[in-house]
């Protein structure tokens, strides 16, 4: 029972990091109706920015984490403006191809600047604390707290602010939103900024808990995309649910399969979701528009 409880806790912690990345996928799809496959690479850049600020610039960990979110939010705005906005009226395949190209560019840039070696935040050895039947490290505790703060902040933004209402209006239809006086370009840029900031948070938290390498963006992409499909494409809270389910499934899965196959669980869930429930947990059959709520 203690092993089960520990694996469940580890799964929830992992799910929290996946959820932060998956939310950005859903928000972008809700606004533009295309999959931003560069999102995982943006998360990877966020991890490296936090690493550079913390280890090389000697910025304290929390400000480095927040600084990474701010800088990568700006990166998201630039990518949207330069790579995606000119193709907004083009076929969706063009945007998809561009997203893959952006991913390659970001991966290559980080590899050239930082090298291909695995990096670590080199946090001092953390003592594990026992809480009931489980053990948790300070870093894992920080992941839980940061994930909860980000999720609560996102909920309040989407439901209690004018920007949140504008985002939901654009998700329902750009044309109708513009008729209502909403600046769709500004809203879409805001969506990319918010999604990129959350992706940076996800990448930085994963890097703090494990390590960093330029190829980590691909794994984040797969797991976040699987969470989005499982929860319902374009549904933010469906993506959160899907992310936690994948995190739990992965960690409980190592009870039955070798840990080296852990990442294959996300692939399996993605395939099964597409086969048996392509609309996702919170998606509706025959739904033509994605929703951010």
Q: Which residues contact 250 (CB under 8 A, 6 or more apart)?
A: 11, 14, 262, 263, 265, 266
pLDDT in tens, 23-54: 988 888 888 888 888 999 999 999 999 999 99
Token readout for 36 is 């931003």
Task: Give the separation between CA 233 and CA 223, rounded to whole angstroms.
Answer: 14
Token readout for 269 is 């869930």
Tally of domains in the chain: 1
The percent of residues above 70 in pLDDT, for the chain, comes to: 95
Note whether 156 and 193 are within 8 A (CB). no
Q: What is the mean pLDDT of residues 246-256?
A: 87
Ramachandran angles phi, psi of 119, nearest 5° = -115, 160
Whether residue 197 lies inside any domain: the answer is: yes
Task: Give the separation between CA 74 and CA 68, rounded to whole angstroms.
Answer: 10
Q: Which residues contact 64 (CB under 8 A, 6 or more apart)?
A: 50, 53, 54, 57
Residue 129's DSSP bridge partners are 136
Is the pLDDT confidence value at 100 over 90?
Answer: yes
Whether residue 283 lies inside any domain: the answer is: no
58-62, 101-105, 255-259: least confidently modelled range: 255-259
- Domain span at 102: 2-119+133-276
- DSSP structure string for 152-178: HHHHHHHHHSHHHHHHHHHHH-HHHHH
- pLDDT for 291 equals 46
* pLDDT winner (highest mean) among 31-40, 78-87, 172-181: 78-87
* Residue given tokens 């939103």 in the structure block: 177
* CATH code of the domain in which 208 resides: 1.10.3470
3-state secondary structure of 135: strand
- In 3D space, the residue among 237, 289, 278 whose CA is nearest the CA of residue 32 turns out to be 289
Whether residue 287 lies inside any domain: the answer is: no
- pLDDT for 292 equals 47
Q: What is the mean pLDDT of residues 129-148?
A: 86
pTM: 0.89
Whether residue 125 lies inside any domain: the answer is: no
- In 3D space, the residue among 233, 232, 221 whose CA is nearest the CA of residue 266 turns out to be 221
pLDDT in tens, 209-245: 888 999 999 989 989 988 998 888 778 888 899 999 9
Note whether 146 and 204 are within 8 A (CB). no
- pLDDT for 285 equals 58
Whether residue 288 lies inside any domain: the answer is: no
Whether residue 184 lies inside any domain: the answer is: yes
Whether residue 127 lies inside any domain: the answer is: no
């Amino acid at each position: 029972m203690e092993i089960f409880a520990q694996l469940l806790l580890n799964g929830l912690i992992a799910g929290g990091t996946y959820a932060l990345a998956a939310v950005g996928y859903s928000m972008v799809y809700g606004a533009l109706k295309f999959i931003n496959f560069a999102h995982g690479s943006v998360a990877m850049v966020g991890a490296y920015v936090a690493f550079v600020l913390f280890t090389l610039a000697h910025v304290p960990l929390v400000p480095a984490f927040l600084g990474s979110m701010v800088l990568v939010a700006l990166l998201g705005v630039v990518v949207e403006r330069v790579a995606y906005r000119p193709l907004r009226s083009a076929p969706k395949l063009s945007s998809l191809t561009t997203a893959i190209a952006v991913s390659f560019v970001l991966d290559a840039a980080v590899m050239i600047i930082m090298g291909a070696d695995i990096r670590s935040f080199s946090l001092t050895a953390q003592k594990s604390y026992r809480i009931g039947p489980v053990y948790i490290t300070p870093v894992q505790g920080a992941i839980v707290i940061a994930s909860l703060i980000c999720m609560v902040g996102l909920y309040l933004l989407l439901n209690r602010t004018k920007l949140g209402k504008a985002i939901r209006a654009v998700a329902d239809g750009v044309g109708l939103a513009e008729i209502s006086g909403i600046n769709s370009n500004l809203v879409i840029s805001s969506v990319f900024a918010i999604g990129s900031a959350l992706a940076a948070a996800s990448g930085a938290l994963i890097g703090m808990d494990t390590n960093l390498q330029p190829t980590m963006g691909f794994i984040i992409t797969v797991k976040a995309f699987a969470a989005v499909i499982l929860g319902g494409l374009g549904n933010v809270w469906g993506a959160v649910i899907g992310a936690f389910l994948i995190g739990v499934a992965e960690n409980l899965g190592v009870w039955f399969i070798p840990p080296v196959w852990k990442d294959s669980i996300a692939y399996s869930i993605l395939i099964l979701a597409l086969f048996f429930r392509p609309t996702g947990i919170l998606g509706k059959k025959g739904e033509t528009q994605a929703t951010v709520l």
